[in-house]
Structure 1
């Protein structure tokens, strides 16, 4: 039922668009392929909530200790780094469509390997393959949405990636409660299979075609995706003109390409997006986006003191988190990115410290444990606030911040950053939970969130309703160009 409601929201979100652009349904169709992959990513990341309890069961034929369990959970973070690298090269060499289709294959194979596994090594291989797809699709998905959708609706679609991940978490927790971990692995293949079928129907990215000097094909793909309105034609003309200014006829050797790559670290329009995405990745992991689904049953059991009721509490939180992520996709259309991020982020940190403080008093026996509804209600409020801004908006950075000339290299460098943050978060969380319990663990996360938000406050531009070309100009010149600037630039070119 939840999955049906999610796709219903996606369909209704496209209705206003169809009034203004007949091809909006085409954009929504391409985005649905990305969202199915994001749902698969959510299932991959939250799979430890089903796998680890099954392996720790006395009747399990595969035995694990705490160290092995932590590696099974965090291995997807390490292998996602490889996924980021693979996707960055594939998307530059073969285009967005073929790259997206190819990177789905490791994830689908990984679930099959997990189903047939008989030892920890085979399980680890399956998890590693799943991590490759998880890492590759998160960056490719952001790039596809950024290049395939219009500026006024790009933020909404990018935010829906987070809602799709939340939906995957919810589905995984439901399946893990009613089925064993092997059967769950079979169900988890379905989102990847459906996504693969949709990706095969996509056109190629207009931006990638333009970067390869295929301007006629780029125009046809742009019209298929965005319609033939005057506004769309103007945006495509800006894209083509920008590429003609940047491209040369020189073919570079591998050594020359490596020199060009390292020179990017001296360019402001490359370094600044990397820094923004770094702090966005820190914020994303610190708010518990990936750690909570993976260890949800442990966290809820500690707060409630009841393992029997932890499933109901976890499922309720999943529904609320998914609903808030969907609502964020609406808010991002009416609110500025910065306003939404910092207002909800500051409120979320305040609530989180309230939860940690209350749980600390419970552990120290200053407050009786039976009032579990208080910390659980605060935790619900925290995740609502976090999923309105801190969780979805960092994902939009990947689709908006990098200029086309740096997009492949930027995805690689950002991928390392995001993968390391994910691996560290998943790796250290079980140890933190063991040593300083829930209240200490999330107090550390809350302090990290505050530091990341403070850094983003000073470096993050407002990108709402801005085209990718306008954002690129901002990163180069420190301001968004207005019509007067563009007219002056045209005059200078004519004089020269």
Structure 2
């Protein structure tokens, strides 16, 4: 071999020994270097599809094909990035619009809750057009709460059979009828019927609204939208309080029909839950809904739809195998279907975790402050409730809940459910404990210090408002919000209906028993109980509450279905380390 040939061969070996460096790798080495050539005048570029390295000198970068390839690739990357941002923006706007309609419905359901606070004072005033004694007033106030559990249990199977959107539409019919009955009521019986219908609707609305929000929202936005229901609920109470300060109770009832009438027609133009459509073997309709909710991003929709269809098929196959196993191996009567559902680990685990959380929430005084806020302040300060503007205090309480609920929604974008719940539990504990210490110290006061005064009353009212704020931040907001996240999609409607029915019964029982219990324990005893329950709630959240932030619904369902995932500290960490950007 000639010396020239040897030199050429050696040159070729040296050229092939150079590493292949992509533009991305070059930029990682030098963050300020953005063009194709380095400071020495050389740049290493991988040109696809042939994966051939080219050593290009700055002075000789005249190869037009390479420049065109780089320029075209760069433009294509920019174009794809712009399309992705555009579809993400459209998806966010679409989800905001759908959720805004749902929030309108939740706001409408909050208005009957606060209506009795402005109705009864007007009915029992000397110039009332419908004079009312204490017996009728008790019926008017309480019948609303007795009807809510019936609405909750009915909404469950309706969600699974008719769909989330259709159930919401049907739930608006009794609330419109209820407000109409109340605005035109010629006597107490018609007024009570109106309150009964409104209470029935209020029981129906939380389940489908929470489930629909969870199923149409992307994981990263689900916490924001789901928690806004608490703010909407408080807003409804605020609206009826504000209207009741200057308007007659019949006019307020007429105004109450506006939001549900608007919502019932707007719902016709909104998409149904893609999860429900897939479970009903309607994937084409589910795809159309997903295209609208995901800003037209075809690839994202295809991946999400593939995951939903695969998960639905897996669940149905398991159910079929279980049924065949029961029929083949037993001679006794088949187990009732509802019992089969409730004994599945992916059902009973989240059911009892959320139910226990709700029980602790109620016992911590979350709903007592809604119904007995003025009584709490007057009993703690040893003053008469007649010395206060009851409606003003009720407005302040609702306003605090509304503002804190919005803050919670913003925090859920960055913080997990567990962190917010623990912070809320600690804050509630400190607020209640401070109030107990203050009241206990006042019990030893003598002379003029022992007498009721404005300073003590303001301190007590301020501490109670702090308690309301810290309690609303997590303990009040999280349980119902998480119902739409943790329950399995195939029975999310039915099981959430049962769960909400039990919750409504617990709320009704607690609020009915509170006056008797408060008479026995006294203010110090009541807030000591609230303090103790807040401590237990904080420990419970730390031990048992799962973290669902940014996690797909299918992954949350699998978390409960496999292993012994009861205590969060002993969870299946391999399962929870899956990529968070998996599709629903």
Q: Deviations 1:267-303 (Å, cap 9, x if unpaired)?
A: 1111111112212322443344444333444445555
- Which position in structure 1 is the counterpart of 2:355? 278
CA 1:381/1:485 → structure 2, altered by over 3 Å: closer, same or farther?
A: closer
Q: Deviations over 1:407-428 (max 9, x none)?
A: 1221222022111122113323
Give distance in 1, aligned partners of 2:209 and 2:413: 19
- What is the match of residue 183 of structure 1? 251
* CA displacement at 1:456 relative to structure 2: 3.8
Partner of 2:210: 142
Normalising by structure 2, report the TM-score: 0.73
C-alpha distance after superposition, 1:140-198 (max 9, x if no partner): 11100010110111011111100111111222222222223322222222221222132
Given the superposition, is the C-alpha separation of residues 43 and 470 from structure 1 closer, same or farther in structure 2, using an over 3 Å criterion? same
Higher helix share: 1
CA contact (8 A) 1:282 1:448 kept: no
Q: Mean Cα displacement is larger for which, 384-393 or 278-287?
A: 278-287
Write out aligned runs for 1:223-372 (5 A).
Answer: 223-229=291-297, 230-247=299-316, 259-300=336-377, 303=381, 307-359=387-439, 367-370=450-453, 371=455, 372=457
Question: Contact 1:145–1:154 (CA<8 Å) still a contact in 2?
Answer: yes
Q: Is 1:409 matched with 2:502? A: no
- 1-structure distance, mates of 2:507, 2:85: 35
Partner of 2:555: 470
C-alpha distance in structure 2 between counterparts of 1:137 and 1:394, whole Å: 16
Match of 2:132 in 1: 63
Q: State the SS of the aligned residue for 2:413.
A: helix
Number of residue pairs the alignment of both structures matches? 466
Are the structure 2 counterparts of residues 336 and 167 from structure 1 closer, same or farther at C-alpha, using a change threshold of 3 Å? same
**2:96 corresponds to which residue?**
28
Q: Does 1:154 align with 2:154?
A: no
Task: Report the counterpart of residue 400 of structure 1 in structure 2.
Answer: 485
Alpha-carbon distance in 1 for matches of 2:224, 2:230: 10
Cα offsets for 1:103-160 (capped at 9, x unmatched): 1111111111122224433232222211111111111111000101101110111111
8 Å CA contact retained: 2:400, 2:469: yes
Q: Distance in 2 between matches of 1:21 and 1:165?
A: 27
Indicate conservation of the 8 Å contact 2:237/2:398, yes or no. yes
Alpha-carbon distance in structure 2 between the residues aligned to 1:464 and 1:110:
38
Alignment-derived partner of residue 198 in structure 1: 266
The structure 1 residue matched to 2:175, chosen from 92, 107, 110, is: 107
Contact 2:360 2:537 survives alignment (8 Å): yes
Residue 71 of structure 1 deviates from its aligned partner by 4.3
Task: Tell me which moved more, 197-206 or 175-184.
Answer: 175-184
- Name the SS of the counterpart of 1:333 in structure 2: coil
Report how far residue 90 of structure 1 moved.
Answer: 1.6
* C-alpha contact 1:279 1:452 (8 A) present in aligned 2: no
Q: C-alpha separation between the residues in 1 aligned to 2:388 and 2:149?
A: 37
Q: Secondary structure at the match of 1:378?
A: helix
> Residues 191, 449 of structure 1: CA spacing in aligned structure 2 closer, same or farther, 3 A cutoff?
farther
Deviations 1:220-275 (A, max 9, x none): 1111112344445423321110112223698x9xxx99822211222111111111
Compare 434-443 and 43-52 and name the one that shifted more: 434-443
**Corresponding residue SS for 1:203:** coil
1:42-95 Cα offsets, whole Å, 9 max, x none, are: 221122211222333344434232x65444333333211111122112211111
Question: Contact between 1:38 and 1:161, CA under 8 Å: does it hold in 2?
Answer: yes
Structure 1 contact 45–294 (Cα < 8 Å) conserved: no
Q: Which one has a bigger Cα radius of gyration?
A: 2
Residues 111 and 189 in structure 1, CA contact (< 8 A), matched pair in contact too: yes
Whole-Å Cα distance in 1 between the matches of residues 175 and 88 of structure 2? 37
Structure 1 pair 450/483, CA: closer, same or farther in 2 (3 Å)? closer
TM-score (norm 1): 0.85
Mapped to 2, the partners of 1:408 and 1:257 lie a distance apart of 23
8 A Cα contact 2:373 2:393, kept in partner: no
* Partner Cα separation in structure 2 for residue 296 and residue 385 of structure 1: 15
Aligned to 1:489: none
d(CA) in 2 for partners of 1:484 and 1:454?
24
Matched, 1:120 2:167: no
Shift of 1:345: 1.4
Structure 2: tracts of 5 or more residues without a match: 1-83, 324-332, 566-571, 580-584
Structure 1 CA distance, aligned partners of 2:255 and 2:502?
30
Q: Is the 8 A contact 2:294 2:300 kept in 1?
A: no
Please give the alpha-carbon distance, in whole angstroms, between the structure 2 residues aligned to 1:131 and 1:257: 37
Q: Is the 8 A contact 1:300 1:314 kept in 2?
A: no
Q: State yes or no: 1:207 paired with 2:275.
A: yes
Preserved contact between residue 227 and residue 478 of structure 2 (Cα < 8 Å): yes
Pairwise CA RMSD of aligned residues?
Answer: 3.0
Match of 1:373 in 2: 458
- 1:422/1:430 Cα in 2 relative to 1: closer, same or farther (>3 Å)? same
| Distance 1:429-1:58 versus aligned 2 partners, 3 A rule | farther
C-alpha distance in structure 1 between counterparts of 2:335 and 2:501, whole Å: 18
Cα contact 1:203–1:221 (8 A) shared by 2: yes
Q: 1:389 aligns with which of 474, 493, 514?
A: 474
Gaps of 5+ in 1: 1-15, 487-496
